[in-house]
Amino acid sequence: MQPLSRLTPATLDVLAHLLESEEPTWGLVIIKSTNRPAGTVYPVLDRLERSGWVESQWDDTDDRPGPRRRLYHLTGEGAEAAAAAVQRSRRTEAGRAARVSEAGA
């Protein structure tokens, strides 16, 4: 697994969604839950997969209509790194919010 060169807010949103998902998740569900456009989510998923944080496979279920779906899930190492990154980001945001609150008081 390769470290990510940048952890954007969109990347953190995708990682947080994947951490909360117990089953592999398809891209459209991630798009809807993160409120991010497809043009943001799919490049993030591609970068995460190329870096070894995420794996994906095609859903070959024949009993549902429509096009095939690509399902995404964190790798073991990816889940550990994602949990640390999301937790670090949340601590940073909390500290920033506290400083802003103190400055406004």
Sheet arrangement for strand 54-59: 25-26, 69-74, 54-59
**Is 74 exposed, middle or buried (CB count within 10 Å of its CB: 0-12, 13-18, 19+)?**
buried
What's the mean per-residue pLDDT of the chain? 89
**pTM for the structure as a whole:** 0.86
Alpha-carbon distance of 50 to 47, in angstroms, equals: 5
CB 23 within 8 A of CB 72: no
Ranges assigned E (strand) in 1-105: 25-26, 54-59, 69-74
The residue count for the chain: 105
> Which tokens is 98 given?
């506290």
All domains in the chain, ordered by first residue? 9-104 (1.10.10.10)
pLDDT tens per residue across span 34-69: 999 999 999 999 999 999 999 999 988 778 788 889
- Displacement of CA 55 from its chain's centroid (Å): 12
pLDDT tens per residue across span 79-88: 999 999 999 9
> Which tokens is 18 given?
């994947």
